[in-house]
Chain A
Amino acid sequence: MKTFSGRTIRGAPARPPITPPITAPSQKSPARWYPAARSQSLATAALLALLAAILTGHAALVLLAAPALAALALLPRRRRPAELAVDVALSGSRCFEGEDVTITATVRGLSSAGDARPLDEIVIGLELAPQVSPADRDPAPRTQAFLCTGQATARWVVRADRWGRYSPGTVRVTARAGAFGTSAAAGLDRMQVFPRPGRLRPRLVPAELLRRIGEHTGRAVGEGVEFAGVRPYLPGDQLRDVNRAVSIRRGQLHVNQRAASRATDLVVMVDAFGDSGPVSERSLDVAVHGAAALVTAYLRVSDRAGLVVLGGLLRWLGPAPGDRQFYRIAEMMLAARYDSFVTPDLGRIPRTALPPGTLVVVFSPLLDPRGFGAVSDLRQRGFPLIVVDTLRDEPPAGSRPDTRLALRLWRLDRAATRSALRALGVPVLSWDTGTELDSVLAPLRRPPPGARRAAALAPASAPAARS
């Protein structure tokens, strides 16, 4: 699939039809002129030399001031523009993590009548936001200077390093006309950076699939492609289904049976509870990337996917198919963090947002009891549920015995939480650094029903996998 910049990301949804560039309205502000840095330094040096000459009575010290004074006197006299117009534009309003965005800044000196007026020097600098870095292929320096012009254009290619909705930076302009200078700043508009979905195969499905045609192999016999068994021929069976080897061996016509291909619904739940801080941010980062990977994988095979964000204000998006749904989910995830002390009431989620039988994957650091409560509530309502633990940090283990004891108690508390969830029938998976989500979910995969009928005896709530 193509991304916004034309590069290919495997498994990423297709580019939406409209990704408009952001062009901020031209900022025309009356220029406030002040003595330029060169004028100030020359004048200060001349004054100091003259003061030294007067105070010491050493007339030859005027020689230190004379060149600076002469240069000040001969600084070019240029008519200063009344306005400095700064236009900034982004090449696109949306992109994925790791994609390049071009920032263009155009500066013009304008007279009060609106005509272009030349400047001696225009320096255009870019201050990047912490989530953005210069692109590898961009040779342009962060600050660019232009001489003797009324209009200057600077371009930078930057890379969005982190998902979110933020402004990539600020453009700062300094202009000089003769002995005077002026400055202006223009903030870039916010852009949406979607999390880059990792590669994942949608092999995790509930035991009971929906009665909708899809790409997952169901337990029921149907019109799919997976072999499900052999049975004696009945009138109405297709001749192409006849199994010749078995028919010859048994002396009676037998036909192959095929498993039905069914679709499934997936709802990803992101636990965004917790105090803001680096640990919480990392956990949310892991959760958002995992949710993006899961949603992309399931939407790619025509399943329906939805999202529920647990974070004070309960927000949800009912399952729906298609690429458009990915972007709706991604946009909701961009605003996942919402600090609040409110306990979410899952009963408020309508049936359309959490249809019965939906596979629910919860990404949670298991730190906030409200998240635990939500998981218990869902389990009691009979949803097949998986919890992916997104916490990758531990409290620092100090050298003192009491801090080590505190760490051990903290670990025991987390183990108790996991144990309580398992007692409810909810598998809890740890997602460690450097591991792909596909590997994390691997323990829950089971062979297809045709290969092992024992799977049919498994609890209806537990998720199963079809390869």
Chain B
Amino acid sequence: MTRRPVSFDGAMLIPGVTVALGLLTVAWPLAWAPGWAYVVAVAGATAVLGAALAGWRHGPVLAVAAAIASSAFSRAGTAVLAAEGLFILGYLIAADAPPGRSAGLPGARLARWLRQQARLVVAGLVGSGAVLAALALHQASGAWLTVAGLAAAVAAYLIALPRSRA
């Protein structure tokens, strides 16, 4: 049975949260990153602002790519990286929020949308916890393992996204 349609009107709040989360995502690893990462962070911040202000579709992904690049070459610990992973998730969810009414305060409709997203955040927390637990137990490495992991990641991406927009 179809539920009563709910018009979304949280547009006054969501863009601010999105920009804040995006800038936090880009800036978070800088404290442990090398000097050139600041240049990458500036590009990432530009992508965040471009996505929020000009509706640039690929802005969030580019900002996340900049954050991952900064993190990959940083000396950040596991707790910092776990937090960064959650920031990335939060930013991508907020950036995908539907456009809402420009007038009116966010109320029950915003709460309903947030409740829908809460399960994804909980899933992210569980995923981070599982990886943290795995990292605490044992770490193994090897050339074949690296190649297999790389192939698995690309295959998973291609299988998960078999078709592009027509």
Mark out the residues of chain B between 143 and 160 whose CB falls within 8 Å of any chain A CB in the assembled complex: 146, 149-150, 153-154, 156-157, 160
Interface centre among A53, A66, A145 (most CB of B within 10 A): A66
Mark out the residues of chain A between 17 and 71 whose CB falls within 8 Å of any chain B CB in the assembled complex: 32, 34-35, 37-71
Mark out the residues of chain B between 74 and 109 whose CB falls within 8 Å of any chain A CB in the assembled complex: 77-78, 81-82, 84-86, 88-89, 92-93, 95-96, 98-103, 109
Q: Does B17 belong to the interface (CB within 8 Å)?
A: no
Mark out the residues of chain B between 118 and 162 whose CB falls within 8 Å of any chain A CB in the assembled complex: 119-121, 123-128, 130-132, 135, 139, 141, 146, 149-150, 153-154, 156-157, 160-161
Interface pair A37/B57, CB less than 8 Å apart: yes
Interface pair B139/A59, CB less than 8 Å apart: yes
Option from B8, B98, B103, B165 in Cβ contact (under 8 Å) with A139: B103
Chain A interface helix/strand/loop/mixed? helix
Q: Kindly list chain B residues whose C-beta atoms are within 8 Å of the C-beta of A451.
A: none
Kindly report which residue of chain B lies nearest to residue A154, judged by CB atoms: B7
B 1-20 to A, binary, CB cutoff 8 A, 1 in contact else 0: 01111111001000000000
Chain B interface helix/strand/loop/mixed? helix
Option from A46, A57, A64, A147 in Cβ contact (under 8 Å) with B84: A64
A67-B128, A146-B8 known; 8 new pairs, CB 8 Å cut-off, are: A35-B163, A43-B157, A47-B157, A55-B150, A70-B124, A141-B11, A145-B100, A147-B98
Give the size of the chain B interface in residues (CB under 8 angstroms).
Answer: 69
A86 to chain B, nearest CB (A): 15
Interface pair B72/A52, CB less than 8 Å apart: yes
Interface pair B120/A75, CB less than 8 Å apart: yes
Q: Kindly list chain A residues whose C-beta atoms are within 8 Å of the C-beta of B7.
A: 144-146
Interface pair A34/B164, CB less than 8 Å apart: yes
A 238-251 to B, binary, CB cutoff 8 A, 1 in contact else 0: 00000000000000
Which of A116-124, A281-289, A355-363 faces chain B?
A116-124
Interface pair A41/B160, CB less than 8 Å apart: no
> Once bound together, how far apart are the Cα atoms of A58 and B77, in whole Å?
11
Q: Kindly list chain B residues whose C-beta atoms are within 8 Å of the C-beta of A133.
A: none
Interface pair B96/A38, CB less than 8 Å apart: yes
Kindly report which residue of chain A lies nearest to residue B102, judged by CB atoms: A141
The 10 closest A-B pairs by CB, nearest first: A67-B124, A70-B127, A145-B98, A149-B5, A66-B127, A67-B89, A52-B72, A74-B123, A150-B2, A70-B123
Interface pair B92/A68, CB less than 8 Å apart: yes
A284 to chain B, nearest CB (A): 36
Q: Kindly list chain B residues whose C-beta atoms are within 8 Å of the C-beta of A70.
A: 123-124, 126-128
Q: Given A50-B153, A57-B146, A60-B78, are A35 and B128 neighbors across the interface (CB < 8 Å)? A: no
Q: Kindly list chain A residues whose C-beta atoms are within 8 Å of the C-beta of B149.
A: 50, 53-54
Interface pair B71/A64, CB less than 8 Å apart: yes
Interface pair B2/A45, CB less than 8 Å apart: no
Kindly report which residue of chain A lies nearest to residue B78, judged by CB atoms: A60
> Once bound together, how far apart are the Cα atoms of A38 and B120, in whole Å?
12
Q: Kindly list chain A residues whose C-beta atoms are within 8 Å of the C-beta of B57.
A: 37
Q: List 26 A-B contacts (CB under 8 A).
A: A37-B57, A42-B92, A45-B61, A45-B92, A47-B154, A47-B156, A54-B153, A55-B72, A55-B150, A60-B78, A63-B82, A63-B131, A63-B135, A67-B88, A68-B124, A71-B89, A116-B2, A120-B116, A125-B99, A141-B100, A141-B102, A145-B100, A147-B109, A148-B112, A148-B116, A151-B5
